[in-house]
Amino acid sequence: MPRVKRGSVRRANRKKLAKLTKGYFLNKSKLYRSMKEAADKAGRYAYRDRRRRKRDFRRLWILRISAAARLNELTYSQFIYGLKKLGVELDRKMLAEMAVKDQAAFADLAGKVRQAVSSTAPAA
């Protein structure tokens, strides 16, 4: 088997890894094997959490919309049903933003939704 002299390639790979792990605790930023393990693990977390972030934000938006809807005597599901019935195509991100920053507009929208929902409620 031929001899391989790595020279600048080895140094370049190590420098790239050192740049990735700069600021990590103790050996994770100094020793090659530890740097490699730390960088691999960080990459796995980053990949997983890019997907996770989307879920987390949707959950947050739903919580905010739900809280604001309850202040206007509606449940979250009634509110979303009413919006669909009215043909309002605001996404949850915009609705949550409205619930936090413009309560008056949200209350006005909730009033319209309440009327739409109550008009279709079956007689008990």
Domain-wise residue ranges, the chain: 8-51, 53-120
Count other C-beta atoms under 10 Å from residue 63's C-beta. Answer: 13
State the amino acid at position 123 in one-letter form: A
pLDDT of residue 123: 59
Residue that is written with structure tokens 């509606």 in the block: 74
23: left (phi over 0), alpha (psi -120 to 50) or beta: left
pLDDT of residue 4: 84
Residue 65: name the closest of 81, 79, 82, 83 by CA.
79
pLDDT of residue 30: 95
Comparison of pLDDT for 26 and 6, the residue scoring more: 26
State the amino acid at position 19 in one-letter form: K
Comparison of pLDDT for 18 and 124, the residue scoring more: 18
The yes/no answer on whether domain 53-120 falls in CATH 1.10.20.60 is no
State the amino acid at position 113 in one-letter form: V
Q: What H or E segment, with its residue span, contains residue 72?
A: none
Chain segment 33-53, per-residue pLDDT in tens: 999 999 999 999 999 999 999
Task: Supply the DSSP string of 63-93, one letter for each residue.
Answer: HHHHHHHHHTT--HHHHHHHHHHHT----HH
Burial class (CB in 10 A: 0-12, 13-18, 19+), 74: buried
| Per-residue pLDDT at 90 exceeds 90 | yes
Q: What tokens were used for 96?
A: 């949550």
Task: Supply the DSSP string of 38-60, one letter for each residue.
Answer: HHHHHHHHHHHHHHHHHHHHHHH
Please state the pTM of the whole predicted model: 0.79
